[in-house]
Structure 1
């Protein structure tokens, strides 16, 4: 649908039309939410953490903006200064949140929540999942459209196999968790890694002119199956470790990790890919990006094994009953 919208070039909007995909989905979610989600109000509504929000947004901007734009602009002084400011803003944000929690306020990110071993371990699993996902999709889109010369519609059709397995795989997560617990993440990482290997071998053994959507489909099918389990299971594991009374903070925290890592993936893996293109070509640069994602999947597999071995994680009282 995104490719079709871009190809249609509605009112000269070009690639910007892709964002229209979200409009009917958001409208449907809003209508269903009004009917299905019960209204609830706190007797003592918490005040917004304005200072914490500003500091957190500033730290993310100071980190992501130079990583995204610095290479293309030749690393000017402003990019270096922003990178240097990022950890300082992060420290200031941490101090503000600790003070707010000690004073009985409502911090944007509760430090005590991060001290929960299950929460911290589950959130770490999100790093390779979302950084790898966004970095892969960024590089793959460039390979399809600039390397292989596909139009937006053909590029969109090429990635359909990934969606065909990603959606049903995510729906199988409750059954997989009942059978394997957190180790389902390890198995999903293995399937995903095999998919990346199949894609890399396809790129290696097939001439550039013969790379068709059909040739790329087997690797994408496997990648989609692994990603579908990973994306759904990440939230299941993370939220299962959050105390029920702090479910709202936990939900916001998991979503923040997701969005931050998606941006970080484009900024880091995407920059690596673009930086290698002039030296090794687009094929070699994309294979290097696939290798980086493979390393991330290995870390994900090891981390999920460790998480599964922690108390309450592998049995029926763990995330399988969440």
Structure 2
């Protein structure tokens, strides 16, 4: 990154008179409300994986149907994130946040009461739409509510929530499915969101700052052509990545990816021409030209792909190769999640002399930790304490590759571009996770199948190949960070 930590710009000011009657928008309570909802929405990406076998048995779901139950949430979530950010800017972050949280809560109830695979797929799509409305408002509300060092601390907490969502989802999913509460089987993994969502709706309605109208001349349209082009290109990217491995990568998956590249090029061209005519593009070219934004987008995508791929392939190895239960596998990742969160909250207090090296150093540490995990587990057995040391190093490295990048990227954004930046960075984060699970998951499963009969040793061999790939991606991130630091 830069050789000095950039100053953080002030968010869009909100007049004191804009405080709604009956609201209590103290910053700490605002942060608690938005991050709790963020955590709940992220949890839902991972919690369903553990319940998948039970869902399949109870609803007699086909393989394709089960894939759509798991993937439907991710697909609509990724496709609609940019739109959610623009709606927040146009209609008000508080209003859209509450609408997204309400939709997510109602959809969770409907998922838990579903009586068929088709119903569950439809309500999972609705859940993803609710998250797409909700999540972009989190960063925007942080931008509005906090300034200076307080904003940096808030973004550190945001990073910690992102880190713990994956591990917590697997742990909580294992607990709820194993408990079989009231004989409900898989349904509590969805129904648990309902009381939490209701409480958060009541809290958010009280503590979130009231929306104020955009200044004259700043109210922008939705850019429907851009929305269609971007939505189509993201769909054509996420659907084959999510479903391709299970389907054996048929021709249609490759055609979709090729069409994605074409539509994304058309989207970029259209957005540039629209901005040149004085219109309001979905993603402002000015945002993409902000100092270091392009590199930050690459590094965020890379570290989230490594993070998601690391967790996913290790979960497969631990449960399939080492015979861990879902609960034990989830708990094994606790050191990674805890250290990711701790570092995300404290890195700004580290010595100023080391600040420029944090990002490349974090990526390099992630590469070393990934390789260490693969080598430690290469014999197909549990190696004890050294594995946890490697997990600690992975948590520190991935946090350093994420938290400073996110904070400094937002520091370069003008207040009027906060909504666009929130949507863009949230989308990049989500697409990075989808890519990591799909690419590294396909590599692991493909290598496992090539070994013949599955077992602890063949699973370990597949894991070792994946850790080489994970380390290579992390090394690219380190190089990118070094280039930025030298500039």
In structure 2, which of residues 449, 470, 473 is the aligned counterpart of residue 293 of structure 1? 470
Q: SS in structure 2 opposite 1:181?
A: helix
Cα-to-partner distance string for 1:129-166 (whole Å, 9 max, x where unaligned):
01111111111111111111211111111111112212
Question: TM-score w.r.t. structure 2 length?
Answer: 0.57
Q: Structure 2: which 5+ residue stretches go unaligned? A: 1-170, 452-457
On the 8 A contact 1:4/1:153 being kept in 2, the answer is: yes
Q: Does 1:104 align with 2:278?
A: yes
Q: Does 1:12 align with 2:185?
A: yes
| CA 36–145 in structure 1, closer or farther in 2 if over 3 Å, else same | same
In structure 2, which of residues 397, 406, 410 is the aligned counterpart of residue 226 of structure 1? 397
CA distance in 2, matches of 1:24, 1:176: 36
On the 8 A contact 1:182/1:307 being kept in 2, the answer is: no
Q: SS in structure 1 opposite 2:286?
A: helix
Q: Does 1:279 align with 2:444?
A: no
In structure 2, which of residues 300, 303, 315 is the aligned counterpart of residue 141 of structure 1? 315
Deviates more, 1:106-115 or 1:292-301: 106-115
In structure 1, which of residues 53, 69, 94 is the aligned counterpart of residue 243 of structure 2? 69
In structure 1, which of residues 172, 175, 178 is the aligned counterpart of residue 346 of structure 2? 172
Residue 207 of structure 2 corresponds to which residue in structure 1?
35
How many residue pairs get aligned? The number is 306
Q: SS in structure 2 opposite 1:156?
A: helix
| CA 22–49 in structure 1, closer or farther in 2 if over 3 Å, else same | farther
On the 8 A contact 1:158/1:213 being kept in 2, the answer is: no
Q: SS in structure 2 opposite 1:37?
A: coil
On the 8 A contact 2:377/2:383 being kept in 1, the answer is: no
On the 8 A contact 2:301/2:431 being kept in 1, the answer is: no
How far did residue 41 of structure 1 move? 2.0
Deviates more, 1:173-182 or 1:291-300: 173-182
CA distance in 2, matches of 1:225, 1:26: 35
Mapping 1:123-142, distance limit 5 Å: 123-142=297-316
Q: Does 1:80 align with 2:80?
A: no
Deviates more, 1:167-176 or 1:104-113: 104-113
| CA 172–86 in structure 1, closer or farther in 2 if over 3 Å, else same | same
On the 8 A contact 1:9/1:17 being kept in 2, the answer is: no
| CA 22–174 in structure 1, closer or farther in 2 if over 3 Å, else same | farther
